[in-house]
Amino acid sequence: MTHFENTKSKELRSGMGEGLVEAGKNNPDIVALSADVKGSVKMDGFAKEFPDRFIQCGIAEANMVGIAAGLSLCGKVPFIGGFAEFVTGRVYDQIRQVLCYSNKNVKICGSHAGISLGEDGATHQTMEDIALMKVLPNMTVLVPADFNQAKAATMAAADHVGPVYLRLGRSKMPCFLPENEKFEIGKAQILNEGKDVTLFACGHLVWEALQAAEQLEKEGISAEVINIHTIKPLDTDTIIASAKKTKAVVTCEEHLMNGGLGDSVAQTLALHCPTKQEYVAVDDRFGESGTPDEMLTKYHLRSADIVEKVHKVLSR
C-alpha cells in the first residue's frame, strides 16, 4: 500500500496561521478578527504582518460574528478565529442569521476542536461542531487532516466565496501530506486504494486510518483510505464509487457519532447504495481532562479501534 511518513508532528492551527498570512499577501481584502485568543488560534502572525487588517474583538464572539458580516459587505474577506466551541456552538444563531441565511463571505477558524484538545476538558472539547455547521444551508465545512492540509485549506477558503467553517485541532499531530498541495474544496482524496473495505476519515483520524490500513494489510485485508476533508459539500460520487467497490465501510472522526462525517456518509449510502457501515466516533457523551493521547485512546479513536471496527463490519 501507499506508505505515508510523519515528517514532523505539527499543530493544524499553526497551518491555518501560515495559510492566513499567505492568503493575506495574495489578497489585500483579507482581514482577521479574534476574540482575545489571537495567539492561541495562531492569528498573531497575520496581526504582526498586517496590523491594520487585524481587529481585536475582545471576549465577545457574538459581536465578532456580526462585525465580520458587516465587513464582508464592504468587500472584505473576514477570517474570525476562536476556540471551535465558542465560534460555533456559542454563536450558532448569529452564524445562522448573518453568515448563512445572509450568505456572507466570512471564514470561521475553529481551533482546539475535538477531544484531542486534552487537558482543558469537556467545556472546550467540542465534538458537536461539524454537526452544527453542516446543517446550515450555504455553509462549507472543511476538516483538514494535517498541518500542510490545514494551510492549503485556509488558502482555499480565502478563494471560495461564501461562509466556510474550518475545523482545526490544538495539539501536535503527524504531518504526512505533501507540502503545497492544492486543496480542492469538495473533492475527497483517495490516499490508498483497496478492495475489501473503505475507511472514510477526516481530521486527525486520517493518520489513524492510514496506520490501521497498514495493520490490516499485514492481515491480508485490503483497505481503501479516503480523506473526506470537506464534509460539505460532500463528495458523494467518490463515496458511492468506493462503497460499491468494497461493499464495507468504516467512518473515522474525532466527533460525536451524531451528526458528523459518519452520518453524512451513512445518508449518502442509504440513498444511493445501502452498504454496511461501522463508526469510529464518540458515542453521545462529553470528554474529560487528560493528555491528547489518553483521550484518543480512552475514547476509542485509535488505529487499533479502526482495525477492530473493520473486523466487525466484515463479519456482518
Partner 1 sequence: MKTTQELQTIARQVRRDILRMTTAAKSGHPGGSMGTTDWMTAMQFNIMHHNPEKFTMDGNGEDMLFVSQGHITPVIYSVMARRGFFPVSELSTFRMFGTRLQGHPSTEHGLPGIRMASGSLGQGLSVGIGAALGKKMTNDNHLVYTLHGDGELQEGQIWEAAMFAGAKKVDNLIATIDYNHQQIDGTVEQVMDLGNLKSKFESFLWTVVTIDNGNDMQQVLDGMEKAKSLTGKGKPVCVLLQSQMGYGVDFMQNTNKYHGSVLNEDDLKRALEQIPPTELGDY
Is 58 an interacting residue with respect to partner 1 (CB under 8 A)?
yes
- Other residues' Cβ atoms within 10 Å of the Cβ of residue 112: 25
Residue 154 · residue 108 · CB < 8 Å? no
Residue 166 β-bridge partners:
109, 142
Nearer of residues 80 and 145 to partner 1, judged by Cβ: 80
CA angle 14, 261, 98 (to 5 degrees): 70
The single residue among 26, 27, 48, 93 that binds partner 1, judged by CB under 8 A, is 93
- Which residues, at least 6 apart from 302, have a Cβ–Cβ distance to it below 8 Å? 208, 296
Residues 244-283 that bind partner 1 (CB under 8 A): none
- Tell me how far, at minimum, the Cβ of 166 lies from partner 1, in Å: 20
Least spacing, CB of residue 159 vs partner 1, in Å: 19
Q: Which is nearer to partner 1, 71 or 173 (CB)?
A: 71
Q: How far is the CB of 279 from partner 1 (least distance, A)?
A: 34
At a CB cut-off of 8 Å and minimum separation 6, what does 295 contact?
115, 116, 117, 118, 125, 287, 288, 301
Q: What are phi and psi of 196, to 5 degrees?
A: -100, -30
Q: Give the residue with the Cβ less far from partner 1, 53 or 167.
A: 53
31 makes contact with partner 1 (CB under 8 A):
yes
Stretch that binds partner 1, among 102-110, 186-194, 223-231, 303-311 (CB under 8 A): 102-110
The gap from C-alpha 106 to its chain's centroid, in whole angstroms, comes to 17
Shortest reach from residue 82's CB to partner 1, in Å: 14
- 285, amino acid identity: R
* CB-nearer residue toward partner 1: 51 or 220: 51
Q: Pick one of 67, 127, 142, 295: the residue that binds partner 1 (CB under 8 A).
A: 67
73 interacts with partner 1 by CB under 8 A: yes
Catalytic (active-site) positions: 61
Q: How many residues bind partner 1 (CB under 8 A)?
A: 32
Q: Assess 136 for contact with partner 1 (CB under 8 A).
A: no
Which of 26, 39, 48, 60 touches partner 1 (CB under 8 A)?
60
Cell 485509535 identifies what position? 302
Instruction: Give the residue with the Cβ less far from partner 1, 94 or 227.
Output: 94
- Helix (H) or strand (E) segment spanning residue 256: strand 249-256
Q: Does 94 bind partner 1 (CB under 8 A)?
A: yes
Instruction: Find the radius of gyration of the CA atoms of the chain.
Output: 19
DSSP codes, 41-76: TT-HHHHHH-GGGEEE--S-HHHHHHHHHHHHHTT-
Binding site for partner 1 (CB under 8 A): 31, 52-53, 55, 57-58, 60, 62-76, 78, 93-94, 96-98, 101-104
